Structure formats: structure tokens, C-alpha cells
Structure 1
Amino acid sequence: MMNVTEAHLKQGFSPALVADGRAAEITGSDDAYGWLVGSWELDVLHYRVDMSARRMTGEVHFAWVLEGRAVQDVWIMPRRSQRIPAPGADNNMYGTTLRIWDAALRAWRVTYFNPVTGQRNELTGRRVGRDIVQIGTHADGTPIRWNFTDITDDSFRWTGVALEPDGVTWRLEAAFLGRRTR
């Protein structure tokens, strides 16, 4: 006999959230994020400080959700297989991003939450050539830019920068190299 939790997962939340693909009203040229659907390994190059010598890794998983009108992800660092014992908050990411297509704006509204650290960010995302440029703010109002660059079918570079109080200097906060897993 199926318990309540099993029934919920089989018939409830997960099937109601996850979609098979992009909604028909989002054109291929407006689909900035669909190529990300699937699972990716991450090399952490920078997370508040240069981390290249530490060889930290992460993982990220993307799916179409909300009848194909949004793309959601789960960013995890360190990888789930490396999270024992639990990492300290400084290098702990287990958050989610929801990217919802806004037809009136002709852009994606992007919201990221990391409940481990309380981080919350609001951005607007668009394709700019082959890159995806996301511009917004941290919860405290600090301007940020999060970009997907060096995009191929199986790899990307993701960087996050924040504007310093001088109003001129952009400081690197995070950089990841992603490789698709099969």
C-alpha cells in the first residue's frame, strides 16, 4: 500500500510542477534557458574568493516547470556526495532559481533563493548574442550582473558580479564552469 508521501510525489507536487517542455507561447528566439534543461557538474572557480586551488565542485539541475512557462534549477555546492559533514554557511549553496517568461516585458524574470545563507536576488534575463545577460539586485539593493557565457551544448561559464559602493567597480562574487552530465 502506498503511503501519503509516496502518493503525493506520484500524483501531487512533482507532476504538477515539472513540465515536459516549453509552453507554445514562448518562441524559440525567446527561449533563453531551455538549453540548460538537464544536469550539470560545476567546477567552482570563485565563490567570494578565488577557489581554484581548493578544487571545489558543485552540481546544478534544470527543468521546465509551471506548464513550460518557467525554468527552475537547484544549485548545490559542494556536490551532494561531498556534503557530509554539512559545510559551513560561507561555502554552502543549496538554492533554487525560478526564471519566468514575461511576454509583456519580452524578458525572463529571475529570482534566486539560498535558504542556507538567506541570499535572495531579483534579475531580468535576456539573450545578448550567444550569451545570457541577467541584470538585477541583491536583496540589499546592490546592483548585480549574472551571465552565462562561453555557451556550447555541453558547457557554459557562469559569472556573478556586484557593483562596489564607488558605483564604478564591478567585483567578481562567483564563477563556475558547467559541464553537462549524461
Structure 2
Amino acid sequence: MNMLDNETARGFHDALGAPARAADIDAADDVYGWLIGSWDMDVVHYRVDLGGARRRGEIHFGWVLEGRAVQDVWIMPPRGERHTGLAAADSMYGTTLRLWDPALRAWRVTYVNPLTGQRDELVGRRVGDDLVQIGTHADGTPIRWSFTDITRDTFRWSGMALAQDGVSWRLEAEFHARRRRA
């Protein structure tokens, strides 16, 4: 990358990133700001039960778009363990954009993973102590993604999809995250 490319990339990142939540979003509506920072995760379930097989990943969250959105990057395996030829089923390098919608009084959530073509649309809200995001996969399958067991430095994230029977929910993914220390 030449000097012009570095300056261009830095300009893009500076324009995208924001130092904090926008002033017109009330603190009570800021349900995702606590996530800002970097996290390590243990992969418990990713399409199959991985309880016996150690899988790890990393997640990075930041305020973007003048503080009116929280964007993240979910990476599995971590960048230091990635290699060419990695099967798409064993890999994740996707991003979520959570946009505050004042008319809806909720967050519109879009996740994309270019490697697998996954695209999901949801609406996120606080429900008790949890953050619950409800929506659909691109094929119309209803989904429910939740942040639970939330502390300042840990959380559990699970993704559920409605099964073909239209009644039961199946676990598609579960991650246990720990905040990285500087």
C-alpha cells in the first residue's frame, strides 16, 4: 500500500468512526454502547455443538456514523489463526450495523457475512436485563438473537432460528465473550 492509499484508508476510518453516542440519542435508549471495545470469544455452538472442540474468535464494537450507529466485526477464528483454504462453514468475518430509529424507538440491525452470503435483518430492544433482536434471515426464516448473562466484562450471545415445524426454535450459534484488557 503506498502513502496515498494509507491516507485514503485513514480518511475513510476517521469519517466512519465516532468517539461516542450522538447527543440526540437518550442514555436510556443506548442499549449497545456498553459493548464498545474489543472482546475475545469462545465458540460453544456454530451450526453444530462445539463444546468438545475449542474454537475461539474476536469481536470489535465501535460507534460510527456520527454516533448514531454501533458497528461490529465478528471474526472466527481470530485473525492470528486464520489461513487460506479455511472452509466457509468454519469461518466468520462479518459485520453488524445497529442504527438507532427514533420513530420506532428501537435499533434496526443488519448483519452481513460476505464469505457465506449470510444477511439478516432484525430489530433490537432491551427486554429485562437482556438485549433481544428479532427478525429474519434473508430467506424469510424467523430469527431471535440475544445478548444475555451481561456483565461489564462478559456476555453470552445466542442465535436461534425457527425450525421447519414452525413451532420449535433451534440453536444456530452461541458465543461466550470476555472484554479484552489493554
Give the TM-score range, shorter chain.
over 0.9
Q: CA deviation at 1:165?
A: 1.6
Instruction: Look up the SS of the partner of 2:30 in the other structure.
Output: coil
Structure 2 residue identity aligned to 1:68: G
Give the equivalent residue in structure 1 for 2:27: 28
Q: Residue 158 of structure 1 aligns with which residue?
A: 157
Q: Is 1:180–2:161 an aligned residue pair?
A: no
Residue 5 of structure 2 is matched in structure 1 by: 5
Corresponding residue of 1:18: 17
The DSSP-based 3-state class of the residue aligned with 1:14 is helix
1:104 maps to 103
Identify the residue that residue 92 of structure 2 maps to in structure 1.
Answer: 93
SS at match of 1:49: coil
Point out 4+ residue stretches in structure 1 off by more than 3 angstroms: none
Distance 1:166 1:59 in 2: 34
Provide the rounded CA distance (Å) in 1 between the counterparts of 2:94 and 2:107. 19
**Partner residue in 1 for 2:68:** 69
Which AA in structure 2 matches 1:123?
A: L
Q: How far is the alpha carbon of 1:85 from its aligned partner? A: 3.7
Paired residue for 1:121?
120
Which runs of 5 or more residues in structure 1 are unaligned? Answer: none
State the Cα distance separating 1:86 from its structure 2 match.
Answer: 4.0
Moved more, 24-33 or 139-148: 24-33
C-alpha distance in 1 between matches for 2:153 and 2:91? 25
1:129 Cα offset (Å): 1.3
Q: Could you list the runs of 5+ residues in structure 2 that have no partner in the other structure?
A: none
Question: What is the CA deviation profile of residues 129-180 of structure 1, one whole-angstrom value per residue up to 9, with x for unaligned ones?
Answer: 1100000000000000000000000000000000012111000000000000
Tell me the SS of whatever aligns to 1:6: helix
Identity %, equivalent residues = 66
- Aligned-residue Cα RMSD (Å) equals 0.9
Moved more, 170-179 or 82-91: 82-91
